[in-house]
Chain A
Amino acid sequence: MIFAFTAFLACPRGEAVMSFSDDRAVKRIKDTLDFTTGIVLLVVSLVLALYLVPNYIGEPPILQNPMMSPRWLPNIVSWLMLAFSVLLILQGLLVTNKSENDERKFIKGSLRRFVIMVMALLVYVLFFETLGAILTGILATVLLFLAHPVRTWWVYGFAVAFPVAVTLLFVNVMNVPLPLMPY
């Protein structure tokens, strides 16, 4: 099981790694991705059922009926999640996913594009209130254009025009407040 999990980490697209030292352990799993998802969800549901629900949901000292408790439904849901995670693990062990149109798989692109996209997301969350909607919008949009990269120079005009237009639309037409200017 541990071999299979490690093998999956080495190959995140869910394909069995044939050059791995213990091939048989991996081969025995019919769908590595389902198996790993099941393991992760099993751990999550165990943490929920045994730690989070008892410690982070307050319960009144006297209850007319245990089903009225604030913990009742989260408890049931956690244990059901645990049961279905086990089923997913079994599904991963026993059922092969032969679908040719498996939407889970795709060909990865350059890491640079992805990293710049993450940077653009961070610009939004870290500077939205301090720099304002317009400036963060311009900065993040320019970053995303560069990530692709967009080579037509005049398209960069959209990176300025859209944040300005959409912010003004939100604030002035739809009466939805957004931070306009820095600080």
Chain B
Amino acid sequence: MENLNEVLQLFLSVDNFIAIALGVVIGVTVGSIPGLTATMAVALALPFTFSMQPVAAILLLVGIYKGGMYGGSITAILIRTPGSPASACTLLDGYPMAQQGHAKKALKTALFSSVIADFISNIALIFFAAYLAKIALNFGAPEFFWLICFSLTIIISLASGSMVKGLLAALMGILLSLVGLDSVFGSQRLTFGNYNLMDSISFIPLLIGLFAIPEIIEFYRKKVVPHIKAKASGAGMTLAELKRSLKSIVRGSLIGVIIGAIPGTGATAAAFISYSDARRRSPNKANFGKGEVEGVAAAEAGNNGVAGATLIPLLSLGIPGDVITAIILGAFMVHGLTPGPIMFQENLSLIYALFLGIMFSSLILLVVGNAAIKYFSLIADIPKSILFPIVLMFCVYGAYAVNNATFDIWLMLAFGVVGYLFNRTGIPAAPFLIGFILGPMFEDNLRRSLLISNGDLSVFVRGPITWFFIAITFGSIAFAVFRFFRDRHAKANPLGNESPS
């Protein structure tokens, strides 16, 4: 009872409600502007949360995340430009629907399935995070060491594009995370005598540099493309259509939950698996890809089912599942909190206040999403030539605000150039960021294990939990190798790989 009071006290604050509403509005707005991403918005919003209460700060970022996931589908449906990779699946049926004059129906379908999936995902988060955290209380340093190894391998093996490039990106991230003073011996590591680097590389300039600046550089480097205008027309979704799609939505949500709970898999895989599952089971199978309501519903359900579930490994184990949860992890750290099983023991009220806020955000998404459909043209008609100079201003102010040092602006620009080069060479930025976050955790748990065992390496195989993590780590490596050869085989025989349908 005392805990419940504390939870309500933490949650029922005007700041929290404003943060959630503002977050969802920012997320949907940014997501529905072609060229801007939810990741960029979360990164840029992080400096604004410095002076906020932890619950409000995290809820603001979660709101942006959820809003951005839905917002991405608006541009996918209306102008064939997915706001996020996961929305590419929504495009398959959403855009043909828009071309047939059913844009509003497609958008409403996307909204309703997003909200339902989001709600289911949040329920899964509430049930499983606490359970997983309880199990994780039995983990010591060696178990966490293997868990981090597993997370690293799975994140890299599932990185989009080339696996070699994903690995290289993660290694570069780990290496940069080690810059600064060594936590055990206090010796300097690759600081080159620069005192700004003694306290390691600042997270926020790195984040903004990696995810916002490359888009700006690219915009001014690319040939100018004409601005596309679009609006949502036609009738909305009928109750009969919602009923018909409900099974696909629930199935897609559950697929999203399962995939989201595994670090590294992400929304794109969930959206495509949910879509192909719905197509396989649907009586309107032939209409998929030509403007099928169920197709939009399944893709969006899979996409949004991931949102709450990615917070399961983050909150219960302290492991970020994707780039946005990695940024949210950074926000926790900025506020002096370390997600993981210990947080469930020491800050349970805070976690449950967060859960309430996350549930509430689904409701806000419904309201804001509806308004976004109505006013989309107002948002999307802002040309990038006006938008990007303002985004750059936010980037610079945000980077400087961390330590009040121009060095951080330089750092942000340097990572901007790195991010731009990554884009040009096809190296994914996500494994770089995950490597940057997991690198110190990896080293810390390795050293702690060695300290508690007096250097005896058998501590790493000390019990069933370590063996379990060793097995799944090597399993994920084996899967990555299998996937590599399967993809090569598919590339070599493109015709032999096509299904009869």
Contact = CB atoms under 8 A, between A and B. Distances in A.
B190 A57 contact: yes
Given A81-B172, A128-B406, A176-B47, A74 B189 contact: yes
B286 interface: no
Contact of A144 (B184, B190, B389): B389
Interface string B135-168: 0000000000000000000000000001011011
Nearest to A96: B491
Nearest to B213: A121
Given A176-B50, A178-B397, A178-B400, A141 B413 contact: no
A98 B406 CA distance: 43
A121 B171 CA distance: 29
Interface in A113-132: 113-114, 116-117, 120-121, 124-125, 128-129
B472 interface: no
Interface in A78-119: 78, 80-81, 84-85, 87-88, 91, 95, 98, 102-104, 106-109, 113-114, 116-117
B344 interface: no
A110 B178 CA distance: 39
A88 B164 contact: yes
Contacts of B188: 56-58
A108 B165 CA distance: 24
Contacts of B174: 73, 77
Given A129-B406, A144-B392, A73 B450 contact: no
B216 interface: yes
B426 interface: yes
Contacts of B386: 145, 150, 155, 158
Interface residues of B, number: 65
Interface in A45-73: 48, 52-53, 56-60, 64-65, 67-68, 70, 73
B328 interface: no
Contacts of A178: 397, 400-401
Contacts of B389: 120, 140-141, 144-145, 159
Nearest to B405: A129
Contacts of A81: 168, 171-172, 175
A125 B410 CA distance: 6
A145 B385 contact: yes
B381 interface: no
Contacts of B393: 137, 140-141, 162-163, 166
A26 interface: no
Contacts of A41: 168
Contacts of A70: 182, 184-185, 187, 189
Contact of B426 (A78, A103, A109, A117): A103
Contacts of B491: 98
Contacts of A106: 218, 221-223
Contacts of B190: 52-53, 56-57, 74
B394 interface: yes
B299 interface: no
Q: Which residue, B52, B220, B394, has most C-beta atoms of chain A within 10 A?
A: B220
B220 A57 contact: no
B171 A84 contact: yes
Q: Which residue, B51, B393, B406, B450, has most C-beta atoms of chain A within 10 A?
A: B393
B185 A60 contact: yes
Interface string B398-424: 001100101001100100000000011
B220 A147 contact: yes
A60 B51 CA distance: 40
B401 to A, nearest CB: 4
B450 A144 contact: no
Contacts of B277: none
B122 to A, nearest CB: 28
A81 B425 CA distance: 16
Contacts of A87: 164
A7 interface: no
A107 B178 contact: no
Given A33-B425, A128-B406, A174-B51, A65 B455 contact: yes
B192 interface: yes
A34 B424 CA distance: 10
B56 to A, nearest CB: 12
Interface in B191-220: 191-192, 216-218, 220
A158 B390 contact: yes
B220 A114 contact: yes
B224 A148 contact: yes
A126 to B, nearest CB: 9
A53 B190 CA distance: 7
Contacts of B220: 109, 113-114, 116-117, 144, 147
Contacts of B167: 80, 84
Interface string B33-63: 0000000000000011011100000000000
Given A120-B389, A175-B50, 16 more contacts: A34-B425, A56-B191, A60-B187, A64-B455, A65-B455, A81-B168, A84-B171, A88-B168, A98-B491, A109-B221, A117-B220, A124-B392, A148-B385, A159-B389, A162-B393, A166-B394
8 contacts: A33-B425, A64-B450, A65-B455, A67-B455, A124-B409, A158-B386, A170-B401, A174-B48
Interface of B: 47-48, 50-52, 162, 164-165, 167-168, 171-172, 174-175, 178, 182, 184-185, 187-192, 216-218, 220-224, 385-386, 388-390, 392-394, 396-397, 400-401, 404, 406, 409-410, 413, 423-427, 439, 442-443, 446-447, 450-451, 454-455, 488, 491
Interface of A: 33-34, 37, 41, 48, 52-53, 56-60, 64-65, 67-68, 70, 73-74, 77-78, 80-81, 84-85, 87-88, 91, 95, 98, 102-104, 106-109, 113-114, 116-117, 120-121, 124-125, 128-129, 133, 136-137, 140-141, 144-145, 147-148, 150, 155, 158-159, 162-163, 166-167, 170, 174-178
